[in-house]
Amino acid sequence: KNLISRYRRHVNKYLLEEMPINKEIIVEIGSGNGENIINLSKLNPKKLIIACEVYIDGNASLVSKLREKKIIKFKIFEKSCFFLLEKLKRNCIQEFWILYPDPWPKKKHYKRRLISNKFIESLYYGLKNEGKIYLATDDNHYFMDILLKFCNFRLFRWENDRPNFWSIPFKKMAKTSFFIKANKNFNKSNFLIFSKKI
């Protein structure tokens, strides 16, 4: 309760209202408690970092960390990522990060999965030429589904397209709670990097 009330008091200065122009921007969709996105902000101090997360508990934890670490060049979008994607100008995002999206493993729930053809189109529209998408999942079926959708789209280059590269975590990625949980449960994580073709 205290964390949520503090969040409401301090979040306004972080909330994204308008997409800035002429900025180097990195977006994480589904930023959770913020472990990875805060790491990205440390690695990219001159870039604008945007965390997109609908769950208030994760955002409350994130704001607490931002204040503690005195990180200023940072924005939070607390609505659905689809509203954020609608705000994007063409070719404005340098990197998208999507780590461990909900796999909705039951077949009847597949339509709820985040990574759809329409979603990939929106990423393509917003991404700069040669901009990158970093994706991770520990669900093998979802991994294959994501891979097929991106390959069928044909406007992305699959950067780590060797089987032994799929299991190597991204160098810039923090060990998030989802990553740790996957390891603890002996679920093999797969990592995908796609870049936008010119």
Distance CA 18, CA 103 (A): 30
Query: Which of 102, 139, 145, 161 is flagged as catalytic?
Result: 102
Active site residue 139: no
> Residue 186: exposed, middle, or buried by beta-carbon count in 10 A (0-12, 13-18, 19+)?
exposed
CB atoms closer than 10 angstroms to residue 161: 13
Q: The tokens 């160098």 sit on which residue?
A: 171
Catalytic center residues: 102
